[in-house]
Each structure stands twice: as C-alpha cells, then as structure tokens.
C-alpha cells in the first residue's frame, strides 16, 4: 500500500473517535474519556502514522542532503536557504535537536543508497550501470545484462535494513541504531 494512502486510511480510522476531534486544548479531556480498548486502538493507529511520517521525513531529509552537497556550493538547497549544512536546514524546519537532524540525514542517505557501499546517497534515477551522462559506467556490461555475481556484488550490505525500514518493520530510530551498531564493513583487500 502507498505510504500516503496508508496514512490517510489510519487517520480515517481515528475519525470515529469523536472524543479526539476537538481543539488542541480539549485533547487531554477527550483522550481521558476513551475506553481502555479505544486507548489501545488509537495508540496503535497514531504510532503507525508517526512511523510512516518519520520514514517519509527521513527520505525527504536524504533528498535534501543530496541536493545540498558541498560541491554545489551556494547553489545547493541548504545554502540557498541560508544554512551552512543540511543538518542546520533540517533542524530549522523540524525544530528538533541537531542529533535528531543528523539521524534523519543518516537514515535518509542509507535509504537513497541503493547500489553504493560508501554510505553516500545514490544519484536519483541512476541504475548504477551508467555514468551521470547516461554512458555505461567503467566495467559495466555494455549489453545492459549482468551476471548475478555482478548484480549481487553491488547490493549494499545494509539492504535488509533498508528493506525493513521501507516496509515499516523497523522505525528510523531502530534502523539508525542497528546500522550504527554494526558499523561499516571493512573493504576487502
């Protein structure tokens, strides 16, 4: 299911709780009026919405970082908005801590990293078999077909973590903690 569709459906499920459809100042009293079963149901839906929103926010933060690369100088997204770094841009928008912004950027970069093992975001639209100008990358099979060994060697080591996060089986915080705990594998040599 599409992420925005899932979020809308969950919001629709919350709409049946009239106790929660109040001004923000009335929310504590409205929530206190819920039955135990309703509290658990609302908590599950709100948590799922929050996890979806955080996953989406991490991806967008990764895109913002890609568009704010140092080599873009003042034409980069963060610099163009008056910020010295992507983290400063994210922090100014979210109102969160620098640590939260850095985590979002790490997770976002990992989600955008489909075929590189460096941890840097892959270029949008790049299949990994072609340079930025569309020419085949050095060492790529010009026929466009690749052996399973070649394709497997380009799958990042953290692909299962990436898949678990994108599928909603991990939260961005869990993804970051696991990936940080594992660290980057050493290059074979």
Give the pLDDT mean for 24-37.
97
Q: How many CB atoms lie within 10 A of CB 87?
A: 22
pTM of whole model > 0.85?
A: no
Provide the token pair at 40: 């658990």
Report the pLDDT value the prediction gives residue 150, as an integer from 0 to 100: 55
For residue range 61-98, list pLDDT tens digits in order.
999 999 999 888 888 999 999 999 999 999 999 999 99
Give the pLDDT mean for 97-121.
76
Contacts of 40 (CB under 8 A, 6+ apart): none
Provide the token pair at 183: 């660290």
Cβ(65)–Cβ(105) below 8 Å: yes
Is a pLDDT exceeding 70 seen at residue 55?
A: yes
Helix axes 159-166, 172-182, angle to 10 degrees: 170
Helix (H, G, I), strand (E, B) or coil at 15: coil
Give the pLDDT mean for 98-114.
90
pLDDT-wise least confident of 43-52, 84-93, 132-141: 132-141
């Amino acid at each position: 299911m599409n992420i925005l569709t899932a979020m809308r459906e969950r919001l629709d499920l919350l709409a049946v709780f009239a106790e929660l459809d109040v001004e923000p100042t009335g929310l504590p009293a409205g929530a206190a009026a819920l039955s135990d079963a309703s509290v658990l149901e609302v908590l599950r839906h709100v948590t799922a919405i929050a996890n979806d929103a955080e996953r989406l926010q991490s991806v967008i933060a990764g895109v913002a970082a890609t568009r704010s690369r140092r080599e873009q100088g003042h034409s980069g997204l963060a610099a163009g908005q008056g910020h010295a770094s992507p983290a400063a841009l994210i922090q100014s928008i979210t109102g969160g801590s620098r640590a939260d912004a850095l985590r979002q950027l790490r997770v976002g970069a990992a989600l955008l990293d489909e075929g590189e093992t460096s941890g840097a975001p892959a270029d949008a639209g790049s299949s990994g078999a072609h340079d930025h100008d569309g020419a085949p990358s050095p060492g790529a099979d010009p026929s466009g077909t690749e052996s399973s060994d070649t394709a497997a060697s380009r799958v990042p080591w953290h692909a299962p973590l990436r898949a678990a996060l994108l599928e909603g089986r991990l939260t961005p915080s869990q993804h970051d903690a696991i990936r940080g705990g594992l660290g980057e594998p050493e290059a074979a040599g």
